[in-house]
Amino acid sequence: MDVNILDAKNSLLNKFISEIRDVTIQKDSMRFRRNIERIGEILAYELSQDLDYESKIVTTPLGTKIVQVPKNDIVLCSILRAGLPLHTGLLNYFDDAENAFISAYRKHINETEFEIKVEYFASPSLEGKTLILTDPMLATGQSIVSVFEGLKGHGTPKEIYLACVIGSTEAIELLKKHFPSTTKLWIATVDNKLNEKGYIVPGLGDAGDLAFGSKL
């Protein structure tokens, strides 16, 4: 797996990462959603440099110009509900992409153990297409692995990209074991530690709750 960690190089991205982590700024859920969306836009831009391109002749009021435009047949797939702002950011740039939505959540067995439940699928065919699978938080990595297993019945993608905001080193190692070796991960930042409940430390908390309110 090719792993691309964007904050390894300083850019405006760092401002948005700092704000989604900040407990004071997190109180503004609209700003939290917008910052996740902005990070999605940056992920889309960076990822786009790795796509396939073809020449297109564009007619201007004064003549013509040959430009290089992406030719990939893209499907954006996001995990509900936390993935919606990130999906929006990516869709702002890949505005002609098809879309898929999957529900996945932790069902706790006890205080520290849980299993991933995947219950809802809405996806076009993935056969021969470019799949961009998104999840803002890669904590243990089990959710995105479970979703990938569930998507296999929708066809075999030509290529797979993963677009995430914050992940753990442990999750990235799990992904390497379960995704094809040609998979490419684009992630804004990585933390080294998980706590006993499987949450990223320092991380940012529960992205779904911060974006849309707490749940039962």
In tens, the pLDDT along 128-143 reads 999 999 999 999 998 8
Pick the CATH number of 2-212 from 3.40.50.2020, 3.20.20.150, 3.40.50.300, 3.90.950.10: 3.40.50.2020
Cα 104–chain centre separation: 14
Answering whether pTM is above 0.85, one says yes
Report the amino acid identity of residue 127.
E
Q: Establish whether the linkage from the previous residue to 85 is cis, with ω within 30° of 0.
A: no
Say yes or no to pLDDT of 109 above 80: no
Measure the CA–CA gap between 180 and 190, rounded to whole angstroms: 21
Average pLDDT over residues 154-174: 97
Amino acid making up residue 56: K
Determine what percent of the chain is predicted with pLDDT higher than 90.
Answer: 82
List of residues 6+ apart from 85 with CB closer than 8 A: 32, 33, 34, 36, 37, 40, 136, 211
Contacts for 114-120: CB closer than 8 Å, 24+ residues apart: 114/198, 116/142, 116/143, 116/146, 118/146, 118/147, 118/150, 120/80
Q: Is the pLDDT of residue 6 over 80?
A: yes
| Inter-residue contact 17 to 188 (CB < 8 Å) | yes
Confidence at 190, pLDDT banded by 50, 70, 90: very high
Residue 211 per-residue DSSP state: H
The burial class, CB within 10 Å (0-12 / 13-18 / 19+), for 158 is middle
Distance in angstroms (rounded) separating the CA atoms of residues 190 and 160: 20
Task: Please answer whether residues 59 and 11 qualify as being in contact, where contact means their C-beta atoms are separated by less than 8 angstroms.
Answer: no
Q: What is the pLDDT of residues 13-51, one digit of tens each?
A: 999 999 999 999 999 999 999 999 999 999 999 999 999
| pLDDT tens, residue by residue, 65-79 | 999 999 999 999 999
